Amino acid sequence: MIKKLIGTIALSLTCAVSVAAEGGYALEKAPVRINDMASLQNGAKLFVNYCLGCHSAKSLRYNRLTDIGLTEEQIKRNLLFTGEGVGDLMEIAMRKEDATKWFGTAPPDVSVIARAKSTNLGPSGVDYIYTFLRTFYRDASRPMGWDNLVFPSVGMPHALWQLQGERTMERTTVAQVELDDGSTQWQRTVARYDAQGFAEVNTETLQGYSGSASDKVVFTPADPKASAQFDSQVADLANFLGWMAEPVQLERKRLGVWVLLFLFLFFGVAWRLNAVYWKDVK
C-alpha cells in the first residue's frame, strides 16, 4: 500500500518535471503580495482601467472589492465609469462576434484565469500572468504589431505598453536544423528587434558544436527606471487577478493560522492527558 502510494507520488513528480521542461519560455516568479491591501487595490485599479475594456470578470461583483479594503464610496468614485452599480458584475460591452473579428479570438473571461493557468507543482497562475504581461515585444510583422514570448502569436495587443515604455529586444537561439539532404546542422540565430518592431536577423552555422539547444532573450528598455516601476505595477495586477480567482483565500489563510494554533495547543493537552491516563496502568 505504502509502496504503491510512493510509486504514484514519484510518477506524478516526473510528469510535472517533463511538462515544465517542454513548456517554452521559463516563467518568472511573481513577488508574493497577497496580504498587501495597497497592492491588491492598485491591481484592481489597473485591471479596471486597462483590461476590463476587453476582458470581463463575471464571477466578481464590484462590491466584493470591499474585501480588499475599498469602501463602496471609493469603488463608485474610482472604478465605475459607465453607470454600473456597485452590485453589478464586472462585464464588458464588447460583443463576442466583434471581438473575434478584431483579435482573431474573443478575449476570455478572466475571473479564474489565475487558477486556470496554475500548474500543480510548478509555477502559479500569478507567475504566468506576471511573466506574460512583461514579455510583449514589438514585432512589425504581426497583425497587432505585438508578439509575446510566453504566448507566441497571441491575439492580444500589449495593453500596458505606455506604462512600460519602449524596449528593444535581442533573441539568440541555438537549434539543430535539418538540411535538405537529411543531415543536421547546428545554427545560431540572433534576432534584433528595434523599438518599432523591425527585426534584423542573422544566422550562422556552428561547426563542431557540442552543446545543447538554447533560447536567450535580452530586453533593453529606453528608460530602465520606468521599466522597473512597470514590473512592480504588473506584480500588483497579477496579484489582483490571483485574488480574484479565489477571493476567499484571504479568509482561508487568516483562519488557517488559528486552526494550526489550535492544533498545536490541543496536541499539548492531548499529550499531557495521555500521560495522566496511563500513569496508574503502567
Please state the closest distance from residue 209 (CB atom) to ligand HEC, in A: 33
Q: Which of 159, 174, 191, 195 binds ligand HEC (CB under 6 A)?
A: 159
Q: Which of 129, 149, 235, 244 binds ligand HEC (CB under 6 A)?
A: 129
Please state the closest distance from residue 200 (CB atom) to ligand HEC, in A: 26
Closest to ligand HEC by CB, 55 or 134: 55
Q: Residue 24 interacts with ligand HEC (CB under 6 A)?
A: no
- Count of residues of this chain found to bind ligand HEC when the rule CB under 6 A is applied: 22
Q: Which of 66, 74, 105, 232 binds ligand HEC (CB under 6 A)?
A: 105
Q: Residue 242 interacts with ligand HEC (CB under 6 A)?
A: no
Q: Which stretch binds ligand HEC (CB under 6 A): 7-15, 125-133, 134-142, 199-207?
A: 125-133
CA atoms lying within 13 Å on the CB side of residue 171: 19
Please state the closest distance from residue 27 (CB atom) to ligand HEC, in A: 11
Q: Which string of b and e fits 136-159 if b means at least 16 CB within 10 Å?
A: bbbbeebeeebbbbbbeebbbbbb
Residue 89 dihedral angles phi and psi, to the nearest 5°: -80, 155
Closest to ligand HEC by CB, 111 or 193: 111
**Residue closest to ligand HEC when measured from CB atoms:** 51
Q: Which of 54, 65, 79, 149 binds ligand HEC (CB under 6 A)?
A: 54
The amino acid occupying position 137 is Y
Q: Residue 151 interacts with ligand HEC (CB under 6 A)?
A: yes
Q: What cell was used for 82?
A: 459607465
Please state the closest distance from residue 264 (CB atom) to ligand HEC, in A: 39
Q: Residue 113 interacts with ligand HEC (CB under 6 A)?
A: yes
Cα first-last separation, the chain: 34
Q: Residue 126 interacts with ligand HEC (CB under 6 A)?
A: no
Give, in order, the Cα–Cα distances in Å from 196 to each of 64, 142, 199, 218.
41, 12, 9, 16
Nearest in space to 72 (alpha carbons), one of 63, 84, 81, 85: 63
Nearest in space to 54 (alpha carbons), one of 96, 19, 16: 96
Task: Check if the beta carbon of residue 25 is closer than 8 Å to that of residue 173.
Answer: no
The Cα 188–Cα 210 span in angstroms is: 13
Q: Residue 138 interacts with ligand HEC (CB under 6 A)?
A: no
CA atoms lying within 13 Å on the CB side of residue 187: 14
Residue 235 dihedral angles phi and psi, to the nearest 5°: -60, -40
Closest to ligand HEC by CB, 75 or 133: 133
Closest to ligand HEC by CB, 70 or 126: 126
- Residues lying near ligand HEC in the complex (CB under 6 A) are found at 50-51, 53-55, 103, 105, 107-108, 110, 113, 129, 132-133, 151, 154-157, 159-160, 237
